[in-house]
């Protein structure tokens, strides 16, 4: 994608502060971090959706993300980290190149995801589980 900001970062057309790079993924510091050290891990191939990323590349993204999360915890003396991937605008994806956020977290860092918590009506949980499981096609 010639206009994709992340593709331009991978090509070196836009500067970034690299954390990690290999043949499949590129990781760099987010310029508008939730907390300092907030890193993005992106596939080098352009994929708008996580659903089109080949399994070996998606696996590498999460492996690298986890290792970066551990390094951030240790080096920044943080309490934990989040791995966050939003798929699609409805999920909060802003840049349409799939990316994994690695966010170092402190117990009192003041950031909240603001998730609501619903309760399933009787039988709805089992119904959804059965339908979703029926659609899965895993090797």
Cα–Cα separations (whole angstroms), residue 7 to 24, 38, 129 = 13, 19, 37
Q: Which residues are catalytic?
A: 99
The two three-digit tokens of residue 93, written as one number: 């994806």
Is residue 74 within 8 Å of 38, Cβ to Cβ? no
**Going by C-beta distance under 8 Å and a sequence separation of 6 or more, which residues neighbour residue 4?**
46, 95, 96, 97
């Amino acid at each position: 994608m010639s206009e994709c900001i992340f593709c331009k970062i991978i090509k070196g057309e836009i500067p970034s502060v690299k954390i990690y790079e290999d043949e499949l993924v590129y990781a760099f510091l987010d310029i508008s971090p939730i907390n300092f050290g907030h890193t993005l891990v992106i596939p080098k191939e352009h994929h708008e959706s996580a659903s089109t990323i080949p399994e070996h590349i998606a696996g590498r993204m999460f492996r690298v993300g986890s290792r970066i999360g551990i390094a951030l915890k240790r080096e920044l003396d943080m309490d934990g980290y989040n791995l966050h991937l939003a798929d699609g605008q409805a999920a909060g994806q802003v840049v349409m190149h799939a990316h994994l956020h690695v966010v170092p977290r402190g117990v009192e860092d003041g950031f909240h995801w603001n998730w609501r918590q619903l309760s399933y009506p009787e039988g709805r949980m089992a119904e959804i589980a059965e339908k979703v499981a029926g659609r899965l096609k895993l090797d």
